[in-house]
Structure 1
């Protein structure tokens, strides 16, 4: 386990804020899946997801196009998730070609899934913490546009409105 990553993601107030949502609500998940599908189609990407970053793992709470073991596990280790970079930066994060990016060439997700490009925007909670990310993923290298970023930013605001309805 990467203890530096754990320390940065495992801030108690941040984890408590995540725990304050009913992330297992079927209604919430259906809405987040639909939002993910909309983002994927508008940006013309095969995969989109909404995830929260826990202290050691990414937990996918809404998705479109996610399959295989990632769908079954509903997430990945935090070290493998590109959404971790979005959360830690607290701002949009983009990877044009993971096979050419030194930060990601050795990432097991790139090797196992064929992930090549990524664009994610942060999900900021009411307490000011970055809780997760809404992103799109493609199997081909690509440069995402300002319009793509705007689609995700708008959708991330919708995600937070949906999550607020499901605070416990």
Structure 2
């Protein structure tokens, strides 16, 4: 994905919509942590995230199983965040093994985490704006199924329902 694609994260309409959510409300974080935990348990993965993408960063707003250094308050650069692809494509995104994937094999963020596989679905508004992604990540190579994707999509719907409660 070329750098120009990441420029789409800075679309004014998407950022204006994102700014309408109180993303740092502790009650929202608690709700999204529960969604992430449930997804990780149902899909038997060690990590699950709910995140939004600003113009240049991924902000984790709900998580399960994430080591503290990965969930830094300043977020990760969008170019390093696998969830960026989910948001930019506007559809589910799957990687069976980061180490074999030409797009992600050299990603410095992934090289330090020990994570190997990813399944993510977008968090979209009713108007079709992609705000972020809900994902599960595994420490082993994994082929995700249509059933896995359906489970994660249902959880992403739950995450959006929680987010809507914190929209002004």
TM-score normalised by L of structure 1: 0.95
Query: How much does 1:66 deviate?
Result: 0.7
2:47 alignment counterpart: 47
Q: Shift in Å at residue 47 of structure 1?
A: 0.2
Q: CA contact under 8 A between 1:47 and 1:64: conserved in structure 2? A: yes
Matches within 5 A, 1:31-110: 31-73=31-73, 75-110=75-110
**Unpaired runs of 5+ in structure 1?**
none
CA displacement, residues 95-114 of structure 1 (integer Å, 9 cap, x when unaligned): 00000010111011221111
Which ranges of structure 2 fall in alignment gaps of 5 or more residues? Answer: none
Distance apart, 1:125 and its partner CA: 1.4
3-state SS of the aligned residue for 2:161? helix
The RMSD of aligned alpha carbons is: 1.3
Q: Secondary structure at the match of 2:88?
A: helix
Answer yes or no: is the 8 Å Cα contact 2:58–2:81 preserved in 1.
yes
Does the aligned pair in 1 maintain the 2:22–2:167 contact within 8 Å?
Answer: yes
Aligned partners of 1:51, 1:83: CA distance in 2, in Å? 8
Distance 1:53 1:150 in 2: 22
